Chain A
Amino acid sequence: MRIIRDLLAASLIAIAPIAPAFAESIQDASGRVVELASDPARIFAAGPPADVLLYVLKPQAMLGWVRAVPENGLQYVLPEVRDLPSLGRLTGKGDTLNLEGLLAAGPQMVLDYGNINPTYLDLAKRVEDQTGVTYVLLDGAFQKTPDTLRDLGAAIGVAARGEELAAKAEAIMAETDRLVASIPAKKRPKVYLARGPEGLESAAKGSIHSEIIERAGGINVAEGDSKGLITVSPEQLHAWAPEIIITVDRDFAANATSMPELAGIPAIDNKRVYLAPQAPFGFIDAPPSVNRLLGLRWLTAKFHPELAGEALPQAVRDFYHDFYQVDLSDEQLKALLGA
C-alpha cells in the first residue's frame, strides 16, 4: 500500500512541471513579475516567516513546516497541519535542506518572505535556476503586510481570503495608528525588548525584530549599530532606565524582578515586565511575520492599558479566529494572556 502511494506521489511530482497551467502572476521583491501555476496545491515555505504567511492564507497547500510548531502551540493551529513534517529551512545562513530534498517534496512554487537584500535576491534566483521551481521572494516589512496578504492571496488562488485578511490587517494597523497618534510623545513609555535567559540580548531600533515597538506607541531604548541582535550589559540597562520590559523568554520573565543587578530599573521596580505569548507563533517576532499584527495589538495594550487594555481579549479572540482559524476557549485565552 505504502509503496503504491509513494509511487503515485512520485508520478504526480513528475507530471506537475510537464503540464504547467499559468494563470496568475505576482510581482516579487526583485521587481519581476512571476507567473504562477493556477491555484497551486503544493507550496514550499522557505523560512519560518513564510510558514506563517502561508498558513494564514492557504494551509491546505503547505508541504510541511520549516520550524515545527512546539507541542504547546499545536492546539492553536488547524488539525490538518499539526502533523506536517519539518522540512528544514532553505534561505539565510545555515540551510538545513538541500535542493534535492526540495525537489523530493514536489513543490509547485517556493514562497520566501522576509528581509530583502541583494544576497537573498541572488540566492532565490540561484535556487530557481537550479531546480526549475518558481521562487517567489516577498518583502517582509511590517508595513507591507496587508498588500502582501492581498497580492499573494490572489496569486495562489485564495483571492477572497487574501482580501479578507488584508482588510483585517489594515483595520488593526489603522486603529493602532489612530490610538497612538492621540498619545503625546512624552507619554510614550521607554521600552526594552529582553531576549535570552538573562534578558541581556535585545534588538535595537530599526531591527526587524523590534520594529512593532515604535509602531505600538513605545520608545525602544536599545540603541545599537546592528540590524540583528545585540548584547547588552545590566549596567547599560540602568543607563537606559526602561519603564516597560517586554520579553520573549519565560525564564527571564519569571526571574527578572528578583535579579539583584536589575533592581532600581523602573520597569522592574514597578513590575512592568511582560512575557509575550508564543503560541502558536511569537507575538513580537519569532518569526517576524503576519503574527506581528497581533503583537502590535498586545503591545499597545501593555503600553497604554487605559486606552487599549480592555479590548485586548476580544481582539485576540478575533485574530485567532480570522487568521489562525481556531476559536479560543476561555481557558486558552487565559493561558495565552495570563491572569
Chain B
Amino acid sequence: MRERNWTLPLAGVLIVALVLGIMIGPYPLSARQILQELLGQGGGTGATVFWNIRLPRVLAAALVGAALAAAGATYQSAFRNPLVSPDILGVSAGAGLGAVLGIYLGLPVLAIQLLGFGTGLVTVALVVTLSLMIGGSVLVMVLCGIALGALAGAGISLIKLMADPDNQLPAITFWLMGSLAGVKRGDLMAAAPAILLGLLPLALLRWRIGLLSLGDDEARSLGVEVGRLRMLAVAGATLVTAAAVSMAGVIGWVGLMVPHMIRLLTGPRFDRLLPAAALAGAAFMVLVDACARTMARQEIPLGILTATLGAPVFIALLARGARQWRQ
C-alpha cells in the first residue's frame, strides 16, 4: 500500500471537496449558475455570492487546511514526536494575543490579521532564541514553547477581562474559536503568499526533513546539518501556521490529526507524507468549513468542529500507540 503514489488520488479527493464546497452554502447556487459564473455569463447577487464570498472562502479553507497539515507533519518530524501539533512552539497563542489585542484596540480587520501574524512569528522567534540561550535541545525548545504559550494565554485572558463585554468580548471569543465566515478576497491575497513561501522550503527539503526523525546523531552521520535544517523546517512551518491562524483564527487538531491519518496510508517517509498530508488537510478543511456554514442556522466555529472530530481520533491513536509501546 505504501509504495502506491497517493498524491494523485488525494488530489482527486481535494478536487471533489472543492466542487462540493463551492456548491454548498446557505445561499443556494445551482450547478448551472456556477457554470455560468465560471464562463462569465452570470451576474447579480449570484455573482457576488460566488466570486466575493463562496470562492474566496473555499480557497481559504483549502489553503488553511494544507498549511496546518503540512506544518503539523513538519513539526512532528523535526521534533521526533508524532503527538506534537503546529502550535507546539506557541505560534497560535502568540497570534491569538496579537489578534485579540487588535480587536481590543478596535483596529481594522487587515491590521488585526497582520498583528496576529507578527506576534505569532515573534513568539516562536523568542522561544527559539530562549532555548538556544538555555541549551538548545529539542526538549528545552518545546518547554519554552509551552511556557511562552501560557504567557500569551495569560495576556489573552487579561485583554478579555478588560474588553467591552457587549461588543469586543464576543468578537474575541469568536476569533479564538476559529472561523472562515468573514474571509474576503483581500484576506486570501494577504495570507496566500506567506503560506506558499513557508511551504516552499518544506517542499524542497522534504527528503532531508524526514531524516530529522532518526535523531540528531544519526541524521548528522547521514550527512545532514541538523541544526540548520531543523531551524529552516521550523521557520517554514511557523510561517504557514502564523499566516493560517491570523486569517482563520485558532483551529486546533487539524495539524495533529491529518498527518497521523495520512501516515497510515503513505507510511512515515516525509517526502511522501508532506504532499499527501497537505492535499488531505485542504480537502478536510474545505468539507469541515462547508459543514460550519450549513449544519446549523448560524455559523459554527471551526475550532468546535475540528476538536469534536479530532479528540476521538487522537484518543484512538493514543490507544494504538500505547499498545505498540507496551511491546
Q: B30-59 vs A: 1/0 string, CB under 8 Å?
A: 000000000000001101110011100100
Q: B162-183 vs A: 1/0 string, CB under 8 Å?
A: 0011110111001000010110
With contacts A195-B167, A231-B299, A233-B26 known, is A263 near B181, CB below 8 A?
Answer: no
Determine whether A130 belongs to the interface, using a CB cutoff of 8 Å to chain B: no
Asked if residues B182 and A249 are in contact (CB atoms below 8 Å), the reply is: no
Interface with A: B134-142, B279-287, B290-298, which one? B290-298
Q: Within the assembled complex, what's the spacing in Å between the Cα atoms of A233 and B160?
A: 24
Determine whether B161 belongs to the interface, using a CB cutoff of 8 Å to chain A: yes
Asked if residues B48 and A260 are in contact (CB atoms below 8 Å), the reply is: yes
Task: Using CB atoms, name the residue of chain B closest to A240.
Answer: B26
Q: Within the assembled complex, what's the spacing in Å between the Cα atoms of A238 and B52?
A: 12
Q: Within the assembled complex, what's the spacing in Å between the Cα atoms of A199 and B208?
A: 47
Asked if residues A229 and B53 are in contact (CB atoms below 8 Å), the reply is: no
Asked if residues A235 and B167 are in contact (CB atoms below 8 Å), the reply is: no
Interface size class of A (residues with CB under 8 A): 35 or more
Instruction: Please tell me which one of the listed residues B48, B160, B297 contacts residue A224 in the complex, with CB atoms under 8 A apart.
Output: B297
Asked if residues B167 and A248 are in contact (CB atoms below 8 Å), the reply is: yes
Determine whether A129 belongs to the interface, using a CB cutoff of 8 Å to chain B: no
Name A228-252 residues within 8 Å CB distance of B. Answer: 228-236, 238-239, 248-249, 251
Give the tally of cross-chain contacts (CB within 8 A). Answer: 109
How far, in Å, is A49 (CB) from chain B's closest CB? Answer: 11
- Chain A residues with CB under 8 A of B57: 233, 235
Asked if residues A261 and B48 are in contact (CB atoms below 8 Å), the reply is: yes
With contacts A200-B181, A286-B166 known, is A232 near B299, CB below 8 A?
Answer: yes
With contacts A260-B52, A263-B52 known, is A200 near B167, CB below 8 A?
Answer: no
How far, in Å, is B198 (CB) from chain A's closest CB? Answer: 26
Task: Using CB atoms, name the residue of chain A closest to B184.
Answer: A261
How far, in Å, is B279 (CB) from chain A's closest CB? Answer: 25
- Chain B residues with CB under 8 A of A67: 164
Determine whether A201 belongs to the interface, using a CB cutoff of 8 Å to chain B: yes
With contacts A201-B170, A264-B44 known, is A235 near B182, CB below 8 A?
Answer: no
Name A169-208 residues within 8 Å CB distance of B. Answer: 195-198, 200-201, 204
Asked if residues A204 and B52 are in contact (CB atoms below 8 Å), the reply is: no
Asked if residues A197 and B45 are in contact (CB atoms below 8 Å), the reply is: no
With contacts A224-B297, A249-B167 known, is A231 near B48, CB below 8 A?
Answer: no
Determine whether A79 belongs to the interface, using a CB cutoff of 8 Å to chain B: no
Task: Using CB atoms, name the residue of chain B closest to A287.
Answer: B166
Determine whether B301 belongs to the interface, using a CB cutoff of 8 Å to chain A: yes
Asked if residues A198 and B109 are in contact (CB atoms below 8 Å), the reply is: yes
- Chain A residues with CB under 8 A of B182: 198, 200, 231, 233-234
Determine whether A285 belongs to the interface, using a CB cutoff of 8 Å to chain B: yes
Determine whether A118 belongs to the interface, using a CB cutoff of 8 Å to chain B: no
Determine whether B268 belongs to the interface, using a CB cutoff of 8 Å to chain A: no
Asked if residues A233 and B293 are in contact (CB atoms below 8 Å), the reply is: yes
Determine whether B108 belongs to the interface, using a CB cutoff of 8 Å to chain A: yes
Determine whether A96 belongs to the interface, using a CB cutoff of 8 Å to chain B: yes
Q: Within the assembled complex, what's the spacing in Å between the Cα atoms of A233 and B49?
A: 11
Name B107-135 residues within 8 Å CB distance of A. Answer: 108-109
How far, in Å, is B287 (CB) from chain A's closest CB? Answer: 16
Determine whether A223 belongs to the interface, using a CB cutoff of 8 Å to chain B: yes
- Chain A residues with CB under 8 A of B109: 197-198
19 CB-based A-B contacts, threshold 8 Å: A94-B161, A94-B165, A96-B161, A196-B171, A198-B109, A198-B182, A223-B297, A229-B170, A234-B182, A235-B57, A236-B27, A236-B293, A236-B299, A238-B53, A239-B25, A239-B26, A261-B53, A264-B44, A264-B49
Beyond A196-B171, A236-B293, A239-B25, list 19 extra A-B contacts (CB 8 Å): A200-B181, A201-B174, A224-B298, A225-B297, A225-B298, A230-B298, A230-B299, A231-B179, A231-B181, A232-B299, A234-B52, A236-B299, A238-B45, A238-B48, A238-B53, A248-B167, A249-B167, A260-B184, A263-B48
Residues in B lying within 8 Å of A, measured CB to CB: 25-28, 44-45, 47-49, 52-54, 57, 106, 108-109, 160-161, 164-167, 169-171, 174, 179, 181-182, 184-185, 293, 296-299, 301
